[in-house]
Amino acid sequence: MANSLSRTGKDIAEIYDRHKDMVYRICYAYMKNSADTEDIIQEAFVRMIKAGVDFENAEHEKAWLIRTATNLCKNNLRHWWRKRENIEDHTNLQAREFEINDTFKVVMTLPDKYKSVVYLYYYEGYDSVEISKILGKPQSTIRYFLSNARKILREKLGGDFDEK
């Protein structure tokens, strides 16, 4: 890819168009409301522009955005003012760009350490080796997280959960 400092507005718009839906789904899984999700998406792409990252290929570009968005969500949820928010303020907000089925709703209730791994594995099609590189965790940890998440999903979804 071209040097990121010489990227044009068109190049940035193309990157945004390629990855906005994926980043939205990842952020929505953490934030659980459209307003906060859109704020995090904006921040992730602004960071990409400011950092001037020179991506090696399309997979590196995608992995960088996944990791940045995930970290921004986690940081946002740990912020002191989040503990003071009333969760009821966010219950009636709707997602905008993608359908949320019952399985995805259950995935969103998983603990954070499982949520990203399950999303990347089942929704984005990455294998455990690729996920370990994206999240910077050992492969064995990723497989352990997937195994535990599957157990939780089996309990919550019963026969509706299909591992493939």
Q: Per residue in 48-63, pLDDT tens?
A: 888 887 888 888 888 8
Average pLDDT of 98-102? Answer: 63
Amino acid letter, residue 29:
A
Write out the two tokens for 16.
């945004």
Given a contact cutoff of 8 angstroms between Cβ atoms, the answer to whether 70 and 116 are in contact is: yes
As a CATH number, domain 101-164 is 1.10.10.10
pLDDT in tens, 75-90: 887 765 555 555 445 4
Question: Mean pLDDT in the chain?
Answer: 79
How far is the C-alpha of 150 from the C-alpha of 31, rounded, in Å?
22
Identify which has the larger pLDDT, 95 or 31.
31
pLDDT in tens, 9-22: 788 888 888 888 89
pTM value is 0.57
**How sure is the predictor about 74, in pLDDT bands with cuts at 50, 70 and 90?**
confident
| CATH class of the region 1-98 | mainly alpha
Amino acid letter, residue 133:
K
Check residue 103 and give its pLDDT. 78
Domain ranges of the chain: 1-98, 101-164
